[in-house]
Structures are given as C-alpha cells and as structure tokens.
C-alpha cells in the first residue's frame, strides 16, 4: 500500500541558511512538501562549511538539515535571477520560508507584501532574530546569543560556574518548528478562505517561549531561578546521580514516586519526615535532602539500581553518549533514522497510521537543480507533482 504523505502537492520555497529555516524546510520535506532551497551562488548556505566532520564536500550539519530538498542558486542583485525567483514564487509556491538578514529581500523588492499582492494565496513565513519590532529588531541573532539574552543560559549549568549553552540548537530548531506550526495552521485557514497570510516568529520569541515556567515563577514570586545542573527548580529529587560506576538520571516527580525511591534506597524514614514528605518541602530543603540521596546512590552499580527502580516504577535512565544513542536498540526499534546517500540521519518524530514520513534523497549540491528548474517554463513545475 502506498501511503500519501500529508503535504504531498505542496510547494515551499526556502530562502534560508544556517539552522532555523532549513530545519523548517526539512520537516516540511519529510511531511511530503516539495521544498526548493535557494542559495547564494557564492558559497551557498553558511552551514555547508560547518565542519569537520564533512560528508562528501559539505558538512554533516548541512547534510542533516537539508536532505530531501531541491537546490538552486539565485544572485539577488542580478535582475534576471531576481525575476526568476519572483516568477517561481508567484507561479509555483504555496509558501515561502525565509530567515535572511533584515533588509536583504526589501532591497531587491522581494517582500511578503509585494509577492502576496500578486498572489493572495501565498503563505509567507518570516523567521527573524529578535522579532519584527522593538529596540533589537534590526540586530542579527544566532542561537547562542538568544540563549543568552532570553535567560536560558541563566538557568542552565551549575551554580556560580561559567555560563553554559544548551548543547543542541534548541532556539534555532524550535523557531523552525514554530514556523512549521504557523504554516500548517495557515494552510488549514487557506483551505477555507482561499487567502494566504504572513506568519512571523523569531529566535527571541522562541527563547521566551522556552522560558515559560521560569518566567512564570518570577512573575508569581519574584523568584529569579538559578541553574541546578541536571536538576530543576520546581521538583526534588529530579536529577542525575553518580553511582558506583556511571551516572543515572532519577525523576521522582511526585510524592508517591519519592516514597518508592526511598524504599529502593533503604531510606524509608525520609518519606515520612515532614521536611521531605511533600515536593514543596523537598524543594525548600533541597540542600539537606540531596546529599543523603547522593550517598545512598553512590554504593549501587547503575544497572542494578536501574533494575530496582524499574521494578518499583520509579522513572530513571542512564546518561548515554552520542554513540550510545545512535546504536541504542530503542533508537533502532522506533525507526527514527533514514539512510540518506549512505549517511544515517534523524527524521521528524512523527508517524501517521504507524508509518514514518521520510524523504531520503541527500542534501542538494550547490546549484544542483539550476539547469532543470531555471530552464523550465513557468507552470510546468506544478504539473510534475
């Protein structure tokens, strides 16, 4: 049986670089959209050079974020190229995703307003740095800058040690996901009205959204959160512990789980101690409780303690390294990866009727589809879908 992917027949033009817009394009490609990635002919997407490691002539980062797309080059300053891109969008595209530096598209007349005036059904998705308005609106932004400026770094790491960024591109990829959510919502609305819309998000807004809980705590009680390493401010015990041989993450997220954890560690008396019996009390008395648990855990082998906690129903997990995650049987069982030109890459974490939407073609070489798409008469692209 052939499974139709949700976005089969949708054409998206990606005017993107680095992570945010390319990740949005990757999601849409896996969901079935035909994604045409537009790059500058002079070197292309910056991410092509983010290495080593490389896969062929481009970085593994670029390969991971851009598989399943077609690639063309456009020199915006060239009137012929600019006219071609305008025609491609107006004649063929359902949506545009862009995260270019502010002012570039305006300089060449390729704005959401002008293009939607020609094609009212067009959905235009802007992914900015610090948002469309405000004192930082024209400031360029990257993931670590926004992790710093939205407070994410302030709640990440340990105590008074130097700042630590989250080890993945949390803000960039999150912004790409918000763009996709906005685009999908707009497709539903367009099916009812025939009208497109302009969707806007930014790295800064995404960072603020990730900070929903710490910011609520501040507004509620003036509580300026500090970093708790692998733990969190609101729940105790909820962090990684060093065993006799390695680390184990233990998440006793409620009072019942805490009682079970105490039983596993032979610390039953703690569960009835008023200083620790409720989560609120444990958070208040964190510095008294954690050393007791750390001492108890330190005598266990990680596998033995994990088995005991599993038996009692206490959530736990070993801390795995990248190589261990890549080869873990759970990773294999879920079918999350896809072989893309011999390189195993992660797909989107969705399934429809038990089937993963996947497109395996490798990321395009710079200008790989120029000869095909730039010579094709308008209205021909849609006929191929």
The dihedrals phi and psi of 58, each to the nearest 5 degrees, come to: -140, 165
H-run or E-run covering 126: strand 123-128
The secondary structure of 32-51, three-state, reads CCEEEEEECCCCCCHHHHCC
Cα 371 off chain centre by:
33
* Catalytic residue, candidates 172, 245, 310, 383: 172
Which of 13, 192, 29 minimizes the C-alpha distance to 91? 13
- Cβ proximity of 61 and 50 under 8 Å: yes
Question: Token digits for 282?
Answer: 């444990």
- Cβ proximity of 60 and 37 under 8 Å: no
Task: Please identify which residue in the block is written with the tokens 């456009």.
Answer: 74
Beta bridge partners of 352: 355
The dihedrals phi and psi of 192, each to the nearest 5 degrees, come to: -95, -35
**H-assigned helices in the chain:** 20-30, 60-66, 79-92, 104-107, 112-118, 143-149, 170-193, 203-210, 212-221, 255-265, 268-272, 279-284, 286-297, 302-312, 322-326, 329-334, 370-373, 380-383
- Geometric angle at alpha carbon 119, from 116 and 125, rounded to 5°: 45
- Cβ proximity of 181 and 122 under 8 Å: no
Q: Is the peptide bond between 147 and the residue preceding it cis, with omega within 30 degrees of 0?
A: no
- Tell me the longest C-alpha to C-alpha distance in the chain: 78
List Cα–Cα distances, 341 to 72, 362, 363, in angstroms.
Answer: 19, 5, 9
- Cβ proximity of 329 and 320 under 8 Å: no
172 part of the active site:
yes
Catalytic residue annotation: 172
């Amino acid at each position: 049986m052939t499974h139709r992917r949700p976005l089969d027949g949708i054409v998206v033009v990606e005017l993107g670089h680095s992570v945010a817009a390319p990740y949005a394009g990757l999601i849409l490609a896996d969901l079935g959209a035909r994604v045409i990635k537009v790059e500058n002919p002079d070197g292309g997407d910056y991410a092509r050079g983010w290495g080593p490691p490389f896969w062929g002539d481009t970085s593994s980062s670029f390969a991971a974020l851009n598989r399943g797309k077609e690639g063309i080059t456009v020199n915006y300053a060239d009137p012929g190229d600019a006219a071609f891109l305008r025609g491609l969008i107006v004649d063929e595209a359902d949506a545009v995703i862009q995260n270019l530096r502010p002012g570039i598209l305006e300089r060449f007349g390729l704005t959401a307003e002008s293009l939607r005036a020609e094609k009212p059904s067009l959905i235009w998705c802007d992914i900015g740095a610090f948002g469309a308005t405000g004192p930082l609106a024209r400031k360029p932004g990257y993931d670590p800058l926004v992790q710093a400026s939205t407070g994410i770094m302030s709640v990440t790491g340990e105590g008074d040690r130097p700042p630590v960024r989250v080890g993945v591109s949390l803000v960039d990829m999150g912004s790409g996901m918000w763009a996709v959510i906005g685009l999908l919502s707009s497709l539903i609305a367009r099916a009812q009205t025939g009208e497109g819309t302009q969707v806007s998000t930014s790295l800064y807004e995404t960072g603020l959204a990730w900070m929903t809980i710490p910011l609520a705590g501040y507004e509620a009680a003036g509580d300026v959160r500090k970093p708790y390493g692998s733990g969190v401010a609101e729940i105790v015990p909820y962090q990684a512990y060093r065993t006799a041989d390695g680390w184990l993450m233990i998440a006793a997220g409620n009072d019942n789980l805490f009682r079970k954890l105490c039983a596993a560690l032979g610390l039953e008396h703690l569960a009835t101690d008023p200083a620790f019996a409720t989560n609120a009390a444990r958070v208040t008395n964190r510095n008294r409780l954690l050393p007791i648990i750390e001492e108890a855990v330190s005598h266990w082998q990680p596998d033995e303690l994990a088995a005991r906690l599993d038996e009692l129903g206490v959530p736990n997990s070993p801390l795995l390294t990248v190589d261990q995650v890549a080869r873990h049987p759970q990773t294999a069982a879920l079918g999350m990866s896809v072989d893309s030109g011999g390189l195993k890459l992660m797909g989107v974490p969705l399934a429809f009727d038990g089937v993963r939407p996947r497109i395996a073609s490798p990321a395009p070489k710079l200008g790989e589809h120029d000869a095909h798409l730039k010579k094709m008469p308008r209205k021909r692209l849609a006929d191929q879908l």
